[in-house]
Structure 1
Amino acid sequence: MRFVYWSREVAGWLLVLIGLWQFWNTYTLLTNRRILEAAPSAFIAFVIFRGGVHLLKVAVAAQAARTLPESSAQPATRRAGRMPTKPIGPTPAKAVVPGPRSRAAAAAANGDLD
């Protein structure tokens, strides 16, 4: 199992170095004023370099996961408590945003109930 970690680490560093070498090739193309050839070369260098960095991150995460104790690998189940809720029901008339009213509400406000 330790070999898998080191193989990811070595492959990551190789890809980072190949990406840097490709960036150097891109730089030499740009100094020779070969712009059209340098653009794809820069993209390829970027992809290779980012792949190497990703492999290095995965290798470090795998190493960190190996050092965790077994008890923290499976968290204990915990009963979730209920959140307090607001009552759901008719909204009081005073809490409603002012605007057009229904006839019954307007009549009740004016005192003109039949």
Structure 2
Amino acid sequence: MRFAYWSRELAGWALIGIGLWQFWNTYGLISNRRIFEAGPSAFIAFIIFRSGLHLLKVAVAAQAARSLPEGAQPATRKASRMAVKSVAPTPTKSVVPGPRSRAASANGAAN
């Protein structure tokens, strides 16, 4: 397992180095006024550099997770809720779901 951490770490640093090298090539293209070639090159450099940063973050997270005790569980709190008071204009007990026909309300049915 220890090898997996170091392989991610080394791959992350390698990708950061390749990304920086690609940024340097992009700078050379811009210096030679090759603007159209520099755009895709900068995009590729950005993606490679960000990939290296992500691998480094994953490697550090794996190392931190490995240092936790075996049975460690996060402390969870019970969510407390405030008492809910209706602010609606009509009380909820008097609301009947669905439409009521005029004939039913005239006969006093379905209260």
Q: TM-score, normalised by structure 1?
A: 0.68
**How far is the alpha carbon of 1:68 from its aligned partner?**
1.2
The one-letter amino acid paired with 1:50 is: R
Paired with 2:88 and 2:21, the residues of 1 have a C-alpha distance of 69
Residues 90 and 31 of structure 1: CA distance in aligned 2, closer, same or farther (over 3 Å): closer
Per-residue Cα deviation, 1:38-87 (whole angstroms, up to 9, x for no partner): 10000000000000000000000110111112342x34676555532326
Root mean square deviation, CA, Å: 2.4
Residues 28 and 85 of structure 1: CA distance in aligned 2, closer, same or farther (over 3 Å): same
Per-residue Cα deviation, 1:8-45 (whole angstroms, up to 9, x for no partner): 00000000000000000000000011111110000000
Paired with 1:24 and 1:89, the residues of 2 have a C-alpha distance of 64
Paired with 2:71 and 2:82, the residues of 1 have a C-alpha distance of 29
Unmatched runs of 5 consecutive residues or more in structure 1: 93-114
Residues 35 and 67 of structure 1: CA distance in aligned 2, closer, same or farther (over 3 Å): same
- In the other structure, the counterpart of 1:84 is 83
Residues 89 and 57 of structure 1: CA distance in aligned 2, closer, same or farther (over 3 Å): closer
Unmatched runs of 5 consecutive residues or more in structure 2: 92-111
Q: TM-score, normalised by structure 2?
A: 0.70
Q: How does 1:1-114 map to 2 (within 5 A)?
A: 1-72=1-72, 74-75=73-74, 81=80, 83-86=82-85
Paired with 1:5 and 1:83, the residues of 2 have a C-alpha distance of 45
Task: State percent identity of aligned pairs.
Answer: 75
Residues 87 and 40 of structure 1: CA distance in aligned 2, closer, same or farther (over 3 Å): closer
Residues 54 and 76 of structure 1: CA distance in aligned 2, closer, same or farther (over 3 Å): closer
